[in-house]
Structure 1
Amino acid sequence: MNSLQWNTPEKLRALLCELVSWESRTHTEGERSFPYKLQQKLRELTYFKKQPEYLSLNLADHGRNFVTALYKHSSAKDTIVLISHFDTVQTEEYGDLEELAFHPELLTKELMKRKDNLKEDARIDLESGEYLFGRGTMDMKMGLALHMSLIETAISEDWPINLLLVTVPDEEVNSAGMREAVKALVSLRDQFNLSYKLFLNGEPSFSQKPGDENYYIYSGSIGKVMPAALFYGKETHVGEPLKGMTANYIASYLTQLMEWNPLFNETDRGERTPLPVSLQQKDLKTQYSTQTPYRAVALYNVFLMKKTASDIMNLFEEIAQEAARRCNESYKALCEHEQVEGIGEVRVIRYKDLFTYAQKKLGKEQVEKLISDVESNEQWDEREKSLRIADGLMIRCKELAPAIIILFAPPYYPAVNSSDDPLIKDIAQYVKDLASKEFDMKVNQIHYFNGLCDLSYVNYNDESDGWSAFEENTPVWGNTYSIPFKEMSQLQAPVLNIGPFGKDAHQSTERLHIQNAFVQTPLILKSLIKRMMEQQEESSNFSNEETLV
C-alpha cells in the first residue's frame, strides 16, 4: 500500500501543489496544455500503461481537451463518474504576488511576511497554519487530486466497481468542456458496457455567509439562465430630442422591473434562489457624438430550481410587456404635454419572431451571412454575439422600432436535484454519521449547490420540452453554443457533490483547509464508495437467493 503515489496526506498535498503549478486559467495556453500533462501523470500508473484505451484526451473546443480515465473491474457494470474541472479564474488580483499564485507552499510562506496586509479572517487562518493558499487550491484542483487518489486506490485494492474520472476545461465560463463530455459519457457507457449509478462531483464546500465554518455536501445544483434584451429606439440630434427615443429610456423601464423581482424567486426544501439582477446594461454607441443612443442591450441573471427556460421566457415576456406599457404611458403623456405626435409605441418581440420576420424580408441567405459575420468575430464572446446578431437584424428591420427584443444569452445551467433519491438519502446519512464518529465533525446537507457546477448537464429530466424556448430565442444556438439535451437525458443517475472545505474562491486569499482536504474528505469519499460496493454485493446476493428459491 505504501508504494502508492497519492494515498497519504503528504503525497496528496504534493500532488495538489503539482496540479496547481500547471497554471490553467480559462482561455489561456495553460488551460490547453493542462490535460496533456495530466494524461502523462496518469500514465505513471501501471494500469493505464497496460490498458491505454482506458485513458484518453477528448476534444472540447478552441484547442482545449477534457480527460477521461476509466478504472474497470472485470466483473462490474456499476459505475461512479468522478467529475471535476481543471480551469481556474484569472489572477490579476494577486498584484506583485501573481507569479506565486500557482505555487501554494511559496505563496503561503510569502503571505506570512505580509500578513498585516490581509483582511482579518484570512490573517487568522494564515497564522493558524491550517490553510494552504493559492489559485485553484480550493476551486477545484483538490477535487481532481482526490479523484486521482480514488482511481489509484481502486486499482490497488481491486474494487469491484468501476470509476470513471472526467475532468474538463471551461467550467468557469461556459462549461464547454462538460457539455462535450456528456456525449463522451454516453459513448463510453455503450463502448464498455457501463451502468452509471452516481455522478460524484468534487467542487469545494462553500461558506454560506461570512464567518461560516460549516462543512457541506450537496445533493443538487442550482440552475441559471440569462434573459437578455435589445432596446431599439429612434435616433435623433440632441437639439431635437422629441424627434427620437433613446434606447436608454426604454431600457430603464425593463431594468427597474427585472432587478430583484420576487416573481422569479423559487423555494424548494427550505432553500431559495437569489433574486435576479442585471449583469450588464450598455448602449451600443462606439464613440461620443451628439446623436442620441438608439440601441442598447441588457443581460439579466436568473437562478432556477424547478422552472425551465420556457417558464422563464414566458415570465420575462410578461414583464417586458408591462415595461413597454409603462414606457408607452409615460411617453404618451410627454407627447401630449409637448404637443408632438411621437414616434409610436414600444412593442415587445421575441427573438424567434424577429428572426422569422427578417428571413421573410431579407431572405434566408442574407440572414445566414449576417449571423456568420457576427459569429466569426473573435473579439466577442457568446453573450456579445447573441446581442449583436439581434442588433444586426433590427438595423435591417427598423420599421419594427421602437421595440424591446427579448432573447436568451449563454450560458444555460439547468437545475438538478437528487435529494429524494434513495441512494443519496442513504449516502448523506452515512457521511453525516461517519464524519461525526471519526472526526467529531458535523456535515450539513444542502439541496442546491449555490456556485453553479457541471452537474447541471447530467440527470436531465424535462418531459415538457422546457428547453425549446432557449433553442428558439438564443441567437448563437447551434453554431457557437449548444447543449446536448438528448444525451443529457440518457445519463439518468443521481448527483452528489462532496469536496474539500475552503474559503474565498476567486479571491487573492483563496485557501484550502489542510486537515479537511488531505485527511477528512479522502476518508469520506473512500468510505462512501465502499459502502456502495457493499450494498451492491448484498443486492446481488439477495437476487441470487431469490433465483435459487
Structure 2
Amino acid sequence: MENEKMKWNTPEDLEELLCEVVGWDSRTGTEGEIEFATKVLKKILEMQYFQENSSHIHFHDAGKGRSAVTAYYDSGVTNKTIVLISHFDTVHTEEFGGGLEELAFQPKALTEELKKRKDDLPEDVQIDLDTDDYLFGRGTMDMKMGLVLHLHLLEKASIEKWPINLLLLTVPDEEVNSSGMRAAVKGLINLRKEYGLEYQLFLNSEPSFSQKPQDANYYIYSGTIGKIMPSALFYGRETHAGEPLSGITGHYMASYLTKAMEFNPHFVEEEYGEKTPLPICLQEIDLKEDYSAQTSHHTAALYNVFLMRQNADDIMTIFKHTAITSMAECTNDYKKICEREGVTPIGEIRVLEYTELLEYAVRKMGSNGVEKLIESVMADESLDERKLSMQITDNLMLRCQELAPATVLFYAPPYYPAINSSDNELVQKKIALTQKLLKEEFNVEATQVHYFNGISDLSYVNYNPTDTGWQSFKNNTPVWGDTYSIPFKEMQQLQSPVLNIGPFGKDAHKLTERLHKESAFKYTPFVLAKVIESMFVGSYIQ
C-alpha cells in the first residue's frame, strides 16, 4: 500500500467528504438512517486495506432495519487497539421551513442561501456568515464531521502502517434511544474476543459544545454526563365534574410532584467544579382519551435528571422520598378542602415503585395475566418507549384500582449512565498533549471539561464494574426486555478510559447548526493523529 494515495487528507479533501456524507440524509427513524450503513460500507471499501481485508468490516443489528458498522484496521504487530466512536443519525429538519429544508443536507448551498437571508438571523449568526469561517447544515456539527475524522484516521493508519490497531465504530440512533451503541456493545466484546484485542481507549469525536450561549471556547472532554428519566403515573379516582370532591384528578396530584421535582437541588451533583443542570419536567400527558364531563383521573409525567456519580438506585431513592413528601402534602391539602366543603375525603395517596405494582398485579392476576396485559400494550406500534411505559403502568393500575389513589414511580427510556476518566493517567496525558499542540501549532486555547454536556454514546462503555444500582432501572422500567434494555453486564467488561476530542461548532439541533471549518479540517485532524501516534511514537509522549 506504499503507492496508495490518501483520498481524505487535505482540508479540501475533508470538506468534500463531509459534504458528501452530510448529503446522505440520515434523520433518525427514516429510510436514510437504514441506508446509511451500506453507504459508509462502500466508502470504507474505497481504502485499499479494506478491499484486501473486507472481512474486517462488520454490521451489528440495531433493530428496525438499522445497523451499526465497525471497520477494523489490524496493524499486525500488537493487540493494542483504539476504538473510534461516532454516530451517523441526525435530528429532523422541520425548523428549516421557508424553502430551506431542501438545502438542509447541502452545506455549501445552504451556507450561501443563508448569506442572502442573514438579516433574518440572530446577530451572532450574521457575524459568522460574514467571516466565512463556518459551514452550515444538518449534521455538519452533530456529528458527521466526527465520522469523517475517523475515516481520515483509518485511511492514514492503513497507508502509513501505524503499529497500533484502530476499530472504527459508527452507529445509528444516538439522538433518540442510542439503540445503535447499545447494540454495538456486544459487538465490541465479540470483536475483542475474535481478534484478541486489548482496548486502550474509547475515543469519541462529538463536537466541542458551547457551555453557555455565545461561548466560543474549545473544549476537550474526559467524560460524559448522564441522563435518566424518573417518571410517574398519577392514578386518582374519577368523578363527574359536578361532584369534583367525590374523586381526585391525576392533574391535581401531578401538580404537587412536578412542583417538587422542577429545579429540585437535591438531584444536583457537583464534581471537579462542574454541576449538573437542575431537573425539569419534560412532558406531562393526560391519559384520558376523550372529552367528557368525567374528570381525568390518570396522568403521567416524565422528569429529566442529569447524573455524574449517582446511579439509578440513588435517583429512585431521592425520587421516592420527593414523591412521598409531595403526595403527603397533596393529601393534606385535599383533606382540608374536603373538610371546608363538608365532604368525606377518599383516602391517602399511596406511593409505589413500578416493581411493587407489578408484584401486586402478579399476585392478583397471575403471571400469565400480567404477561398478556403487557403484550396487548406492546402490540400498539404507534407508541414509542415512553408512551408504552405509561400505558403498561396505567393498564396495570386499571386492573388494580383498589390501590388508588396512587402515584406509581417508574423509569422511562432512555437512560445514559455518566462515565468519567478524568483521573486516568493516560487520559490526563492525552489532554495535556492536545492542549499543547493546539496552542503551539494553532494558537488555540483548549479547556478540559470533565463531563460532556451534550449526552454521548460513551455512556455505554467503561461502566463501573462493581455497580449494582442499575438493577433499580431494570426493575422499574416497564418496557425492559421488550423494546428497551441496556447491556450493563457487557458494559462492565469494557473497562478502558474514554476521551472526546472533536471539532468546534455551534447551534446543534437548530436551523443555524454550523461547523468551524479550520477547527474541523485543520486543527482536529492534526491533533487526533498526534494523540494516536503518541500511543506508539515516543517523541510525542508527554
Q: Does TM, normalized by the shorter one, top 0.5? A: yes
Secondary structure of the residue aligned to 1:66 is strand
Q: Is residue 39–residue 57 contact of structure 1 (8 Å, CA) maintained in 2?
A: no
Match of 2:350 in 1: 347
8 A contact 2:4–2:159 mirrored in 1: no
Give the total of aligned pairs: 539
SS at match of 1:411: coil
Q: Are 2:529 and 1:500 aligned?
A: no
Counterpart Cα distance in 1 of 2:252 and 2:540? 67
SS of structure 2 residue aligned to 1:532: coil
CA distance in 2: counterparts of 1:228 and 1:508, whole angstroms: 31
Distance 2:236 2:525 in 1: 58
SS in 2 for 1:365: helix
Output the CA distance in 1 between the equivalents of 2:411 and 2:539: 44
Separation of aligned partners in 1, 2:538 and 2:259: 54
Q: Deviation of residue 464 (structure 1)?
A: 3.9
TM-align CA RMSD: 1.3
Q: Does the alignment pair 1:473 with 2:509?
A: no
Query: Where do 4+ consecutive residues of structure 1 move more than 6 Å?
Result: none
Tell which deviates more after alignment, 528-537 or 290-299: 528-537
Matching residue within 61, 85, 88 for 2:87: 85
Give the deviation of 1:420 after TM superposition.
Answer: 0.4
Q: In the alignment, residue 64 of structure 2 is paired with which amino acid? A: H
Instruction: Say whether 1:49 aligns with 2:51.
Output: yes
**Partner in structure 1 of residue 494 of structure 2:** 491
Specify the SS of the correspondent of 1:208: coil
Could you tell me which runs of 5 or more consecutive residues in structure 1 were left unpaired when the two chains were aligned: 539-549
Matches of 1:59 and 1:2, distance apart in 2? 33
Can you list the C-alpha shifts for 1:352-389, whole angstroms capped at 9, x where unaligned?
01001111111111111111121121111101101110
* 1:199 corresponding residue in structure 2: 202
Instruction: Report the TM-score when normalising by structure 2.
Output: 0.98
- Which of 118, 130, 136 in structure 2 is aligned with 1:127? 130
Alignment partners' CA distance in 2, 1:536 and 1:310: 46
Alignment correspondent of 1:381: 384
Corresponding residue of 2:299: 296
Q: In structure 1, which of residues 51, 71, 76 is the aligned counterpart of residue 78 of structure 2?
A: 76
Distance in 1 between residues matched to 2:538 and 2:319, nearest whole Å: 47
1:198 aligned partner, one-letter code:
L
**Match status 1:245 vs 2:248:** yes
Any conservation in 1 of the 2:534–2:540 contact (CA below 8 Å)?
Answer: no
Residue equivalent to 1:421: 424
Q: Which residue of 2 aligns with 1:31?
A: 33
> Quick one: distance in 2 between partners of 1:302 and 1:272?
12
| 2:269 is the alignment partner of 1:266 | yes
Residues 4 and 48, structure 2, Cα contact 8 Å, conserved in 1: no
2:522 is the counterpart of 1:519:
yes
Partner-residue secondary structure (3-state), 1:445: strand
Counterpart of 1:434, as a letter, is L
C-alpha displacement of 1:532? 1.0
Shift of 1:158: 0.3
Quickly say closer, same or farther: Cα 1:431–1:115, change in 2 above 3 A.
Answer: same
> Is the contact made by 1:351 and 1:405 (CA closer than 8 Å) also made in structure 2?
yes
- Residue 523 of structure 1 aligns with an amino acid whose one-letter code is F
Distance 1:468 1:117 in 2: 50
Contact 1:83 1:202 in 2 (8 A): yes
Q: Does 1:162 align with 2:165?
A: yes
Q: Using the alignment, how far apart are the partners of 2:213 and 2:243 within structure 1?
A: 52
Q: Specify the alignment match of 1:357 in structure 2.
A: 360
| Distance in 2, Cα, partners of 1:486 & 1:272 | 28
Deviation at 1:534, TM superposition (A): 2.2
Q: State the shift of 1:535 in Å.
A: 4.9
Q: Give the Å deviation of 1:282.
A: 2.1
Q: Match of 2:336? A: 333
Q: Is the 8 A contact 2:465 2:493 kept in 1?
A: no
Q: Is the 8 A contact 2:222 2:452 kept in 1?
A: yes
Query: Partners in 2 of 1:113 and 1:388 — Cα distance?
Result: 48
Deviation at 1:288, TM superposition (A): 1.2
Deviations 1:236-281 (A, max 9, x none): 1111111111111111111110000000000000000000000011
The structural deviation recorded for 1:283 is 1.4
Aligned-partner residue type, residue 27 of structure 1: G
Deviation at 1:536, TM superposition (A): 11
Asked if the contact 2:533/2:540 (under 8 Å) is kept, the reply is no
Contact 2:530 2:540 in 1 (8 A): no
Does 2:451 match 1:448? yes
Equivalent pair of 1:39/1:56 in contact (CA under 8 Å): no
Please list the CA deviations of residues 177-224 of structure 1 after superposition, one character each: whole Å capped at 9, or x if unmatched.
000000000000000011000000010001111221110010000001
Report deviation, 1:39.
0.2
Where in structure 2 are the equivalents of 1:1-12 lying within 5 Å?
3-12=5-14
Name 2:440's counterpart in structure 1.
437
Cα deviation per residue 1:69-120 (whole Å; 9 max; x = unaligned)?
0101111111000000000000011111101000001111111111111111
Q: Contact (CA 8 Å) 1:222, 1:415: kept in 2 or not? A: yes
Superposed, which structure 2 residues align to 1:76-155 within 5 Å?
76-95=78-97, 96-155=99-158
**Long gaps (5+) in structure 2:** none
CA distance, structure 2, for counterparts of residue 334 and residue 141 of structure 1: 57
TM-score by length of 1: 0.97
In structure 1, the residue corresponding to 2:71 is in which secondary structure?
Answer: strand
Q: Which AA in structure 2 matches 1:411?
A: P
Cα distance between partner residues in 1 of 2:321 and 2:229: 16
- SS at structure 2 position matched to 1:290: coil
Aligned residue for 1:533, secondary structure, equals coil
Residues 1:173 and 2:169 are matched in the alignment: no
Corresponding residue for 1:545? none
Q: 1:46, CA displacement in angstroms?
A: 1.3
| Contact preservation (8 Å) 2:221, 2:451 | yes
* 1:305-328 deviations in Å (ceiling 9; x for gaps): 000100000110001000111011
Cα distance in 2 for residues equivalent to 1:44 and 1:463: 43
Rounded Cα–Cα distance in structure 2 between residues aligned with 1:464 and 1:63: 33
In structure 2, distance between residues paired with 1:487 and 1:168: 18
Distance 2:468 2:286 in 1: 34
Partner-residue secondary structure (3-state), 2:290: coil
Code of the residue aligned with 1:68 in structure 2: it is T
Q: CA deviation at 1:2?
A: 8.2
Tell me the distance in 1 between the aligned counterparts of 2:231 and 2:28: 24
Q: What secondary structure sits across from 1:386 in the alignment?
A: helix
Q: Are the counterparts in 2 of residues 71 and 163 from structure 1 also a CA contact under 8 Å?
A: yes
On the 8 A contact 1:179/1:484 being kept in 2, the answer is: yes
1:311-322 equivalences under 5 Å are 311-322=314-325
What's the offset of the Cα at 1:537?
A: 11
Are 2:230 and 2:409, in contact at CA under 8 Å, matched by a contact in 1? Answer: yes
Q: What letter is aligned with 1:527?
A: K
Report percent identity of matched pairs: 58
